[in-house]
Amino acid sequence: MLRTLILSLVVATATVSASPAQDSRRGVKPTPDPAGSAEAAIRARTNAWSIGFAAGLLEGAPIRFATELARIVNDGGEMHVLPIVTRGPTENVNDLLYLRGVDLAIINGDSLDEYRSQAPQIGQRIVQIMNLFPSELHVFVRPDISSLAELAGKKVNFNTQGTAAAYSGPLIFSRLGIDVEKMFVPHPVALEQLRRGEIAAVVFITAKPVDAFTKGTWAKGYRFLPVEFGPRLADYYLPARLDHSDYPALIDPDQSISTISIPTVLVSYNWRPGTSGYDRVARFVADLFSRFDRLRSPGFDPKWKDVDLIAKAPGLDRFRPAQEWVDRKVVARP
């Protein structure tokens, strides 16, 4: 399936680029810009500093974070960062490797393993810009389920293929030795099936809080299951908790639910120095890091206050201009 998706993306982009003079949106050929015209200059400048950013699904946290990053980078009027709605952080690796126009992506830390057999040198083709937020595992169940072990053999939804939950969820359950009947339907559909008792659980992997649980109304007994951190999860994952402050209607004030989280990373394609791609990403990094404090001001997601620009993502080198910025920052620390 992965090979088919890759082929589809390559064919689609090749088809678009094969007829640059044809405006497929209107079915007419645009009049070429005269050399040296004002419009030709605008076109060249816009394309020179435009950057495609593979983010995630509309209902997920990554697209929101990508949009906020774009707000501060685009604010200078030169860069043109374009967040792209995608199938999620796992498929974003595919987009970054193969889809034309994509220079940046948000991925989950454990998603690179799926691509190592297909692209053995993947660690040299994708580089870290910065760590973002942990994506917490939410296992939400109907009232008659009280433990992970009780999910064995039952229907559990992991969202649509390509999302973080669809990739990491089954992997985590496998590591924990829990064999469930896996489903991959959109979460809004699955949540209604959960209400009707047709499935046992839904698994979300995204930054808390999740709108479905803060804005939705759930009858007494629906709950999050605890997931204990241990050696089987220590390579890619981190311990985390869900608290009353995250989900006031579902977690009591004196209660805390243990779970795990997956590091979320902003990465770029590892363009060679001297290429236009390298220059685009380098400029993005310079604008982002110099304006990063704006993200910690009112009007942006509060989680930006917890981001450590110096933190390292396991298994990834850092993009050279980003590493140079980090090195300067470390030296400047008292």
Q: How many CB atoms lie within 10 A of CB 20?
A: 8
Say whether 14 sits in a helix, a strand or coil: helix
pTM for the predicted model, two decimal places: 0.71
Q: What Cα–Cα distance (Å) separates residue 73 from each residue in 81, 126, 177, 281?
A: 7, 21, 44, 11
pLDDT digits over 173-182, tens only? 999 999 999 9
pLDDT digits over 40-90, tens only? 887 777 788 899 999 988 877 889 999 999 999 998 778 899 999 998 887
The answer to whether 103 and 240 have CB atoms below 8 angstroms apart is no
pLDDT at 20 over 70: no
Per-domain boundaries in the chain: 42-132+264-332, 135-263
Lowest mean pLDDT among 205-209, 210-214, 269-273: 205-209
Say which CATH class 135-263 falls into.
alpha beta
User: Encoding tokens for residue 145?
Assistant: 């389920």
Q: How far is residue 17's CA from residue 29's CA, in Å, rounded to a whole number?
A: 14
The answer to whether 29 and 23 have CB atoms below 8 angstroms apart is yes
**Confidence (pLDDT) at 314:** 73
pLDDT digits over 276-334, tens only? 999 999 999 999 999 999 999 999 998 899 898 998 887 789 999 999 999 998 766 65
Residue 110 has, within 13 A of its CA and on its CB side, a CA count of 22
Q: What is the mean pLDDT of residues 21-28?
A: 36
What number does CATH give the domain 42-132+264-332? 3.40.190.10
Q: For residue 81, give every residue at least 6 positions away whose Cβ sits within 8 Å of its Cβ, in sequence order, or none.
A: 50, 51, 53, 69, 70, 73, 74, 104, 284
